[in-house]
Amino acid sequence: MPGREHDSGAKRSSRARTRGPLVAASPPVRATRPGRVPRVTARNALFQQWQALLTNRTKRQRTGEFLIHGVRPITLAVEHGWPLRTLLYPAGQRLSEWARRLIDDSGVPLAEVAPELLHELGERESDAPELIAVGALLPDDLDRLRPGPGFLGVAFDRPGNPGNIGTLVRSADAFGAAGLIVTGHAADVYDPKSVRASTGSLFSLPVVRRPSPEDVLDWVGAQRDRGLPIRIVGTDESGSTPISGCDLTVPTLLVVGNETAGMSARWREMCDEVVRIPMGGAASSLNAASAGTLVLYEAARQRDFPATDR
């Protein structure tokens, strides 16, 4: 179960209709929106505002914006109708068919940025990205999870690593969860590391931030009053029930604890059951996102969740 971090990654083939850069280059992009497209060729106030979104959580919250990098995440954001404020593209450079098509079809306002500045915003050592999107933060409304008879949700308690948030968002999306709730003093869902680790699932799965477990308990109580008997199932290495012995086919909210400390005392009190993942070998615990992924897989297995062919 969650303990000290020893992260590892795994590759998965894409479900989205993403298109990477093509060999055949096209002419430099021209403005496709009414009015003048802003050009950013120096580290002016607009550039500094975008740059702050990379590292400054307070600025992200204050402006209601965050940066989206990569072909798949940007494509999924557009496909799922995520509100985008601006698309940044490199000045004077030829773009791939994917980038041109997305610019033409999305209707998002554009900004032309000097390639060396776009490179800085890309946080990568390679060439400047073709596109960076400036996305809007969505409301932290628990009803975005749309609970129903087959409800499966995840609460991540005080995660300290933004990459773990993104990884668990990706797993929740893959195994049929209705959404993910991040509670307490935690890393930021909209940190670039979290957005990147979700590989675009952030834009298809509701992810909501709440300051305390009490907010979630009130919401669960309201669902129970409406006739939806959501059970709260915690995960812990000392849980009384092995994961395979827990009925996860009923409406369930899974709780994954902090990477080092596990679930808070209040979350433990709120749980109807606490499960453990049987382990062997020399490992003392699992990475929090890995543990959450295994529990989500078990829930999907019990529910005969249809995994699409890839």
Check pLDDT > 80 for residue 272: yes
159 or 240, higher pLDDT: 159
Give the mean pLDDT of 156-172.
97
Q: How far apart are CA 221 and CA 229, in angstroms?
A: 9
Predicted TM-score (pTM) of this structure: 0.86
Tell me the CA distances in angstroms from 37 to 44, 85, 87, 264, one per residue in order. 16, 13, 11, 49
Instruction: Outline where DSSP puts E strands in the chain.
Output: 39-40, 65-69, 84-90, 110-113, 132-136, 152-157, 179-183, 207-210, 231-235, 241-242, 252-256, 273-276
Of the candidates 113, 120, 75, 70, the one whose C-alpha atom is nearest the C-alpha of residue 92 is 113
Per-residue pLDDT tens for 94-127?
A: 999 999 999 999 999 999 999 999 999 996 656 7
User: Angle CA(285)–CA(290)–CA(292) in degrees, nearest 5?
Assistant: 100
Per-residue pLDDT tens for 69-87?
A: 999 999 999 999 999 999 9
Write the DSSP symbol of residue 309.
Answer: P
Check pLDDT > 50 for residue 13: no
Backbone φ/ψ region at 261: left (φ over 0), alpha (ψ -120 to 50), beta: alpha
Residue 267 three-state SS: helix
Check pLDDT > 80 for residue 26: no
pLDDT tier for residue 35 given thresholds of 50, 70 and 90 = low
Question: Which residues, in sequence order, are CB contacts of 4 under 8 Å at separation 6+?
Answer: 259, 260, 284, 285
Q: How far apart are CA 199 and CA 27, in angstroms?
A: 29
Of the ranges 9-13, 278-282, 297-301, which one carries the lowest mean pLDDT score?
A: 9-13
pLDDT tier for residue 1 given thresholds of 50, 70 and 90 = low
Q: How far apart are CA 82 and CA 79, in angstroms?
A: 8
pLDDT score for 306: 77
